[in-house]
Amino acid sequence: MAALSFQHRFEPAADPALPPLLLLHGTGGDEDDLLPLGRALLPGAALLSPRGQVLEGGAPRFFRRLAEGVFDEADVVRRAGDLAAFVTAARAGYGLAAPIAVGFSNGANIAAALMLLHPGVLSGAVLLRAMVPVSAPPAARLQGEPVLILSGRMDPIVPADNAAGLAAMLRDAGAAVTHEVLPAGHGLSQADLVRATAWLAGRD
């Protein structure tokens, strides 16, 4: 297989009937960060976990930001295109179906950008502490892909109206969105694991 464009980890499926998960870390994470979360959320699924290619003070990210909560939107668009190309190549190389993204913070934001800018690359997404990645995306044509957004009520980074705006943006694009606000801050909690596991198992 030709070399893929992102440094990444891949774990093949123990249960090929399960959808693969695309694991997208937060600022300062790497390709190993979310592997335990992926294994816990959907045991037996194939896991594809790339490392963000932007460095902010040595900390990997998936796109540049101008300040906390202020994104370089041109870079978001560029990096989402790079990630979409990586996912397409990885699917061909590893023989994968379209993955469900599981993204945290910066990783959730690039996953949302993938949904809005590159419909069809993902079959769904779990967005943990996500914000609106681009203020005026082109009209996307999503086909009812399921999206779970889990926000934290005490999150000091993601304003409540921003997370709600992302949910509305994805709904308008055609996604089937579930948005829940948990009693948590910006970090992940046991409630995130419980809700995301149940959602992925289709118990809703």
For the stretch 32-74, pLDDT in tens is 999 999 999 999 999 999 999 999 999 999 999 998 888 999 9
* Domain residue limits at 79: 8-200
145 lies in some domain = yes
Buried b (16+ CB within 10 A) or exposed e, 113-140: bbbbbbbebbbbbbbbbbbbbbeebeeb
For residue 93, tell me if it sits in a domain: yes
Element (H, E) at 165: helix 160-172
Instruction: Give the length of the chain.
Output: 204
Q: pLDDT band for position 172 (50/70/90)?
A: very high
Q: Confirm whether 3 is domain-assigned.
A: no
Active site members: 105, 155, 186
How confident is the prediction for the chain on average, in pLDDT? 95
In a domain? residue 2: no
- Joined tokens for residue 179: 């948005």
Q: What are 110-165's pLDDT values in tens digits? A: 999 999 999 999 999 999 999 999 998 888 789 999 999 999 999 999 999 999 99
- Domain of 177: which CATH number? 3.40.50.1820
- Is the pLDDT at 203 greater than 60? The verdict is no
- Retrieve residue 67's tokens: 């300040």
Q: Could you give the number of structural domains in the chain?
A: 1
Q: Looking at residue 2, what is its pLDDT?
A: 57
For residues 26 and 107, the answer to whether their CB atoms sit within 8 Å is yes
Residue 97 near residue 91 (C-beta atoms within 8 A): yes
CB-CB neighbours of 183 under 10 Å? 9
Query: Is 1 contained in some domain?
Result: no
Structural domain includes residue 142: yes
Question: What's the token pair of residue 43?
Answer: 């045991």
Amino acid at 18: L
